Amino acid sequence: MLHKGYSLVLTALAFIAFALTFMAVKIGNADLSKTTANASNTTQTSIDSIDNQVIAKEVAIKSVRTEAEKINTPPPPARPKNIILMIGDGMGITHITAATIYNKNTLNLERLPVVGLMKTFSTQLITDSAASATAMATGKKTYNGAIAMDARKNKLKTIVEIAEDKGLATGIVTTSSVTHATPAAFYSHQPRRSRVNREVSAEFMTQGIEVLMGGGKRYFKKEHRQDKRDLLRELRRKGYTVVDKLSEVGKDVPRKMVCLIDDMQPSGYNKRGDFLPDATHKAAQILDRDKDGFFMMVEGAQIDWGGHSRNSKFIINEMLDFDRSVGKAIDFAEADGETLVIVTSDHETGGYSINDGSLKKGEVKTKFTDDYHTATMVPLYAFGPGAEQFGGTIDNTEIFIKSCQLLDLEIPKDILEAYQKQTDNGDSAEIGADSTDIMDAHGPVFDSGFGQRFNKSKTKK
């Protein structure tokens, strides 16, 4: 019995042991299953988070792709409503540098973010102002002395005429006579630039140009015209406000205005005062009245004359005057937001260089290699919508092409075809480059009015 009892105890113990073991296993299992459950939860969570991360990454990649696509397919380039083309006649890089040094190492020109270089060749290596202005105004290279006429003496349509046809307002502002080569090439057509002042002023009467400012009043006067036409009276009848000084209109903004400040060539900067900056500002205000936009040409004409007379002081004064006018144009364009300002030159004058001086004292010591134009490329600056078109190296004819494209003006078919052909085969227009061309280039400039005027200063070295 004892044995039986013992075995019973054993059985009981075994049972308890089994039970305990079972419980232990159960507990262990429970723990294990808990752990497993936790593990699987963690796994699920990390899979979810990886999924989420993958999705997030895909979204990010997609948006990067979209950004990249946006960058690769840029929005249609901004187009200007207005263009102000500013030409510093004879202004090369040295002219700008000399003015910069004199003006405590800064100019308004530095406010224009896009900079390029422009080739100035006419059909000759060294251009004159008439041929270079013709290239910029009509997109066609021609012989020196030609005013908006090609080598066969056919009239070339100018950007001013094309803009007027399309209903834009137009303006011409200069510190020379308004009939001088540079301004004349934007609105008249003459086979030779010399002794045509009265023909050019008569041609102005046939155009719809809203603003004309500069010198040359006598060419509009009855007593100085063989045809005895009183062009000043005719202008008033056509609705122009005709004045001798900008101060005569004060703050008024007339619809159309002709301001002729001198009978012939306006004085140099010292006597002329702030005519050019003020005229730039006033002309932009007047032209801005037209909802269709405007094209205006502003010329600092006398920088060139400083070069012809080998006179650094003259150059610097005229450069600073031109630069103040650039400042006025940029102020207008900044406030307006739809105006492209292009600043360039028609050619370099003087083979001008700075050989010594002091940035601290604002002094330059300079040399001239010649008293005529050179073939050196000239700088080109741009500000505003479309400015990026004017970076790099361009030809003077491209001022016309690009300006027309940006203002959506119709380019004459033959001009466009010639331009495309040049672009395609990389050829530039035919350019003569022998010494005869250079001799020819000297001819017409000096019988156009300013040669005599600056003969005295020509002796200054």
Q: Which residues are catalytic?
A: 129
Q: Which residues pair with 29 in a beta bridge?
A: none
Q: Quote the least distance from Cβ 305 to Zn ion, whole Å.
A: 7
Residue nearest Mg ion, Cβ-based:
182
43-72 per-residue burial string, b: 16 or more CB within 10 A, e: under 16: eeeeeeeeeeeeeeeeeeeeeeeeeeeeee
Q: Which is nearer to Mg ion, 91 or 246 (CB)?
A: 91
Find tokens 């070069």 and name the residue.
307
If binding is defined by CB under 5 A, does position 175 make contact with Mg ion?
no
The distance from CA 15 to its chain's CA centroid, rounded to whole angstroms, is: 102
Distance between the two ends of the chain, CA-based, in angstroms? 147
Binding site for Zn ion (CB under 5 A): 304
Q: Which is nearer to Zn ion, 278 or 304 (CB)?
A: 304
Mask 177-196, x = binds Mg ion (CB under 5 A)? -----x--------------
What is the 8-class DSSP label of residue 52? Answer: H
Q: Which does 301 bind (CB under 5 to 8 A by kind): Zn ion, Mg ion, none?
A: Mg ion
Q: Which does 309 bind (CB under 5 to 8 A by kind): Mg ion, Zn ion, none?
A: none
Q: Which is nearer to Zn ion, 304 or 323 (CB)?
A: 304
Q: Quote the least distance from Cβ 89 to Mg ion, whole Å.
A: 4
Helices assigned H by DSSP within 168-274: 181-184, 197-204, 231-237, 269-272
Amino acid present at 427: D
Residue nearest Zn ion, Cβ-based:
304
Q: Which is nearer to Mg ion, 301 or 380 (CB)?
A: 301
- Measure the CA–CA gap between 123 and 417, rounded to whole angstroms: 18
Angle between helices 275-287 and 312-336 (to 10 degrees): 30
- Measure the CA–CA gap between 66 and 64, rounded to whole angstroms: 5
Q: Which does 302 bind (CB under 5 to 8 A by kind): Mg ion, Zn ion, none?
A: none
If binding is defined by CB under 5 A, does position 301 make contact with Mg ion?
yes
- Measure the CA–CA gap between 87 and 300, rounded to whole angstroms: 6
Q: Which does 122 bind (CB under 5 to 8 A by kind): Zn ion, Mg ion, none?
A: none
Q: How many residues bind Mg ion (CB under 5 A)?
A: 4
Q: Which does 169 bind (CB under 5 to 8 A by kind): Mg ion, Zn ion, none?
A: none
Site for Mg ion in 97-136 (CB under 5 A): 129
Torsion of Cα atoms, 266 then 267 then 269 then 275, to 10°? -40
Residues in contact with Mg ion by CB under 5 A are 89, 129, 182, 301
